[in-house]
Chains A and B, each alone.
Chain A
């Protein structure tokens, strides 16, 4: 199973160099410093796969003193040096030099700083870790976040615990670290987390390090057994002083550093038994070799949490062979998943192919270039029976670059991403929602409004109604808003109060019509599906028995509700069964490797959908107390009755985390903290349990019903095993028939995602949830995080993170009650 892999093909395209027209704007969006995009006129640059950033602009906002030491005066003849100071950390780097000094001791950088026209560019990861700054990859937003952890370092003891999320809860290896090493280990750990964040399927460590792997057994610690999936937790220790760890996950180009890739899998056949055989695969860059010859890690002990393995690595002399191995591409398979993306499987000598893509116009074509790849067949053209694409052409425009050209059936914005596991390319064409037009239809017996939503191509439309206030929602999937968004033209009418449009998620545009009263809605989507027409008219009143419609018109139409009827509906071609969109181009087969990874439009788009949320500013992971004063609307909590229902309990542990944490315990801990804070704010709080017991269902709902509570919060932790990448983030469910519950759910979700900086995974009315069904008050079931996500599970057990959850919940509750107050006051 183990193969030594040579990585090669250092492709550093010319555009990475400064000088091309304003590359900075785009490139710097990716780096956020202290909560804002990096502001600098100097473009970030990429050298040897590392990010070099303008020193002053990047680090000064975080309180780092950046002091150039000129070449000419104090040290004539010497190279120019730059000192960076943060608290007690003092880093001195030299232009063009890998060797630096950290607090007087040697410190080696992976790439040399550059000084150009008086501007210093320094390696981001190396400098950030030396100065104790926190560098994290926000997968959801597609951003690299550089922040000062918690408090400024100046007021912290030098040997403070690592600020990284999850560090300090590592298990057995923790105690063996010295204070000074813990930061280093934390840095290494960060890298692992980042790679997981980036959705890569395997873990990588920078060597030379010794590391231990703790395999959490597939069987949970509690009463419930886990499915046969395995989590891997990495503990790194014994880092040599001065060992530096960089962050490769987000850096473009070839990763030049030696690393190991490590994978663990339990033997599936042993599922359910405690004798889970773990196989440990270690893959090495050719510059390193394993000390153990078996290729299987040595078991060094068992702990409560799992079995520990150790793999020792030593550097091997590098043979710098200038052999350029090109990956061969032998076969393409085109498939369209039902309701999903187009999937292009690339088969050949590489498990994954790196790619880049661009759109050309007239005619619209999507060009996907595969650098370092040779198509082994002839130039081939395939006609595709696909809703988005008409034709695929594979060619070899350059000796070392293959090109796939896809002709678009309709104009649109392409998104190409790579399947984390298979390496397949997944393609979507997003239509642009161009215009929304509301006009009243004249000459009708009753007022009628026609709403037209025009897109640049066919979109999948869904229309449905949300109550209180009555809203008609039209979701257009496979669509995007661009530029200033869709143009809305609105004619005054008495049926629709307001029209809103927003990018709901990376693939979906949501149009919301706030209705003045219950309406009868007829929806029409015909032709090529690019135009959705809605005909709105007042709902006919409840039919009066034995009388005509006219006679019933004067009665109060109490039973009237908004109804949605489809007249005609465009649908994408069905692809079930025969896979008609499958097309195969074949050449030959081979066995060498090329590696690559690419980002997606979807991730960039999602950055838009999560930005712009107010409230909860300034929350740091290091904060241990919920500061009430800074929460907007906190005063609205006074006098409210709030019921908190900690999920599960007693003989029902709920889900068991990959770290062994039990849902029932965490739900109770969070609930108790929440109760304390709410009481402090003047709310009346009732808990359905305060100890480890399992209340009857009625006991969970009766306190809210009997006390006519203003809100019910059922606190849970989530589980979704086997997903790639592991889901993380918050879900909030509510009951569609409880007035106010949807606003409560939205407020809670916004509060949590803003404070925790995690993705909002789901906001959904789900009336069959038992606790919501049984209560008559506005209630929400909140899943505050995933215990199946190793990183999130580690955070969830910490008091600090639980405080942040409480802060998010209180923020949401405050905003919900404040908005109700202001409505009531109007």
Chain B
């Protein structure tokens, strides 16, 4: 019925003997990095215009989950379309997140229907330059869907490409119907 987890016991032993280092300790690393020090996600205090805080979901750099990035944007430019454009910029540098949108992807149009379905229309790059894979497709689609449906007033998201309905982005996920927030993909959700 119950499951043994012997290695935790073992870890206790290891800690006592200090052996954890024998197993786990450092090897040399020459430490050359492309961009020098990491930028921490601080908000700029210098914004004088009214701002709103938006939550953008991006795929975590390790693992399969989406993590929220909280960003402040100009309150006058915080429509669903502006949020999509904010998403398309990718995560802020220094955060352990990746950009799930294929390069060159642009938002062409958007429309919020009375029933709360947000229709977003993208340029063809979102399909032609998509890298594929079920994991890859889920990351792209649900970065968008989870970000937008966590806004009040947006219940579901329907993705179009060049003004036309699409079957899938990369051959897996059915995009013929509006999609709603996927809690399974959110850390801690």
Contact = CB atoms under 8 A, between A and B. Distances in A.
Nearest to A578: B43
B107 interface: no
A339 B133 contact: no
B173 A769 contact: yes
Interface in B24-58: 24-34, 37-38, 40-41, 53, 55
B18 interface: yes
B17 A482 contact: no
A788 interface: yes
Given A356-B21, A577-B70, A770-B172, A224 B26 contact: no
Interface in B143-189: 167-168, 170-174, 177, 179, 184, 186-189
Given A25-B13, A351-B29, A783 B131 contact: no
B134 A605 contact: no
Nearest to A436: B2
A251 B23 CA distance: 7
B3 A339 contact: no
Interface string A662-695: 0100000000000000000000000000000000
Interface in B65-122: 67-68, 70, 96, 98-99, 102-104
A5 B30 contact: yes
A655 B31 CA distance: 33
B17 A26 contact: yes
Given A480-B5, A486-B2, A271 B27 contact: no
A399 interface: no
B128 A723 contact: no
Nearest to B5: A481
Ranked 7 nearest A-B pairs via Cβ: A596-B26, A719-B133, A339-B188, A354-B26, A485-B2, A655-B132, A599-B24
Given A202-B30, A352-B31, A788 B131 contact: yes
Given A272-B103, A655-B136, A718-B136, A358 B20 contact: yes
A227 interface: yes
B172 A716 contact: yes
A352 B32 CA distance: 10
A337 B96 CA distance: 10
A333 B168 CA distance: 43
Contacts of A815: none
A710 interface: no
A420 B19 CA distance: 22
Interface string A200-217: 101000000000000000
A226 B131 contact: yes
Interface stretch (A390-398, A496-504, A796-804): A496-504
A15 B27 contact: no
A484 interface: yes
Contacts of A598: 21, 24-26
Contacts of B11: 413, 601, 604
A614 to B, nearest CB: 15
B132 A252 contact: no
Chain B at the A interface: SS class: loop
6 contacts: A480-B8, A654-B171, A719-B133, A720-B59, A724-B61, A786-B133
B61 A421 contact: yes
Nearest to B6: A608
A466 interface: no
B153 to A, nearest CB: 20
Interface string A706-734: 00000000001111111111010001010
A641 interface: no
Interface of A: 1-3, 5, 7, 13, 15-16, 20-21, 23, 25-27, 29-30, 46, 49, 200, 202, 224-228, 248-249, 251-255, 259, 261, 263, 265, 271-272, 281, 283, 285, 333, 335, 337-340, 345, 347, 350-352, 354-359, 413, 419-422, 424, 460, 462, 477, 480-488, 499-503, 572, 576-577, 579, 593, 595-601, 604-605, 607-608, 647-648, 652, 654-656, 663, 697, 716-725, 727, 731, 733, 761-762, 764, 766, 768-771, 773, 781, 783, 786-788
A325 to B, nearest CB: 13
Contacts of A486: 2
A333 B1 CA distance: 43
Contacts of B27: 49, 248-249, 251-255, 595-597
Contact of B32 (A251, A263, A597): A263
Contacts of A263: 32, 34
A253 B28 CA distance: 8
Contacts of A26: 10, 13-14, 17, 19, 23
Contact of B7 (A200, A285, A605): A605
A764 B183 CA distance: 12
B70 A731 contact: no
Given A26-B23, A768-B173, A1 B129 contact: no
A333 B38 CA distance: 12
Contacts of B168: 770
A608 B187 CA distance: 22
Nearest to B1: A488
A27 B30 CA distance: 27
Contact of B174 (A7, A225, A261, A768): A768
B99 A597 contact: no
Given A1-B32, A339-B188, A352-B31, 12 more contacts: A23-B22, A27-B23, A224-B129, A226-B131, A227-B102, A249-B27, A263-B34, A484-B4, A501-B2, A598-B25, A720-B136, A727-B135
A254 B26 CA distance: 7
A787 to B, nearest CB: 7
Given A227-B129, A769-B134, A252 B22 contact: yes
Nearest to B68: A338
Contacts of B103: 227-228, 271-272
A532 B68 CA distance: 26
Contacts of B138: 766
A420 B29 CA distance: 11
Contacts of A424: 38
Contacts of B30: 5, 7, 202, 261, 283, 285, 593, 595
A648 B138 CA distance: 17
Nearest to A596: B26
Report which residue of A647, A719, A773, A781 has the largest number of chain B beta carbons within 10 angstroms of its beta carbon: A719
A388 B10 CA distance: 23
A283 B186 CA distance: 39
